């Protein structure tokens, strides 16, 4: 058995043996499977953890022409976006081991406490009078965080409302976080990354009404005016 990443086989085995409730049942794709479990704290005061478990769930590149688990790509994206100052789940553990011909990989991250997905947030908005100033402020923060990522040439690659998380606190700017980064990659020129992500979010924005989508686009294009004619 060979190991990849900053982990020993013993440590990998310990994390692999720790299981929990499936919050994302294993998907059969990319020639293998990938799913996510929720790990409850072992002791009081510890955060809940999400464990992405993969078997032969591969990506291929010039560096890895024979394939490598997609968890590595997500780990790299988390670390890169964190360095940019973008909010992402805190990385607790990454490891990948190859046994015979099969790759096993784990990505363990902390739960984003008090965050909810953008589609959940919009579901809540339907239950109360709309505060247009608050909505605009949230959309402005989402635009700012996308721009920060795109300016550095990073493409999220899976821009669905369920993968954009927000945390709102009265009288403070909303916090924004990105999850599910296994398709994230550098892409040049950077405007291609931006166009891909923003157009994809437009197709998968769930409960966001057209009026709010136009507000978001205005906020984003104020930051990235070269794309205004291609997005609005």
- CA nearest neighbour of 199 among 166, 150, 152, 165: 150
Structure confidence at residue 7 (pLDDT): 55
- Which is it for the CA torsion 105, 23, 157, 89, positive or negative? negative
**CA angle in degrees (0–180, nearest 5) for 24-28-33:** 75
Structure confidence at residue 129 (pLDDT): 75
Structure confidence at residue 2 (pLDDT): 41
Using DSSP bridges, classify how beta strands 116-117 and 154-155 pair: parallel, antiparallel or unpaired.
Answer: unpaired
Long-range contacts, stretch 39-48, CB < 8 angstroms, 24+ apart: 39/108, 47/110, 47/111, 47/113, 48/110, 48/111
Would you say 96 and 69 are in contact if contact means Cβ atoms under 8 Å apart? yes
pLDDT by 10-residue block (mean), the chain, 232 residues: 57 95 88 94 90 95 92 96 95 95 96 96 83 92 97 97 94 93 94 97 95 97 95 87
Structure confidence at residue 1 (pLDDT): 38
Q: In the chain, what are the domains?
A: 2-110 (3.30.200), 116-224 (1.10.510.10)
pTM, two decimal places: 0.91
The two structure tokens encoding residue 40: 């409850």
């Amino acid at each position: 058995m060979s190991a990849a990443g900053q982990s020993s086989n013993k440590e990998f085995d310990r994390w692999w043996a720790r299981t929990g409730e499936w919050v994302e049942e294993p998907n059969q794709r990319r020639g293998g499977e990938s799913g996510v479990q929720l790990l409850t704290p072992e002791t009081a005061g510890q955060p809940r953890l999400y464990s992405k478990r993969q078997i032969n769930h591969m990506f291929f590149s010039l560096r890895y022409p024979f394939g490598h688990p997609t968890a590595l790509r997500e780990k790299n994206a988390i670390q890169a976006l964190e360095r940019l100052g973008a909010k992402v789940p805190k990385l607790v553990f990454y490891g990948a081991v190859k046994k015979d011909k099969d790759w096993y990989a784990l990505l363990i991250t902390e739960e984003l406490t008090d965050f909810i997905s953008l589609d959940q947030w919009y579901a809540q908005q339907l239950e109360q009078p709309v505060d247009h100033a608050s909505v605009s402020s949230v959309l402005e923060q989402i635009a700012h965080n996308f721009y920060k990522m795109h300016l550095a040439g990073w493409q999220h690659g899976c821009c669905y409302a369920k993968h954009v998380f927000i945390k709102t606190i009265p009288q403070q700017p909303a916090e924004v976080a990105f999850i599910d980064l296994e398709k994230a990659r550098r892409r040049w020129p950077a405007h291609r990354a931006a166009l891909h992500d923003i157009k994809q979010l437009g197709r998968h924005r769930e409960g966001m009404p057209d009026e709010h989508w136009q507000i978001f686009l205005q906020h984003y294009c104020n930051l990235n005016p070269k794309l205004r004619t291609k997005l609005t």
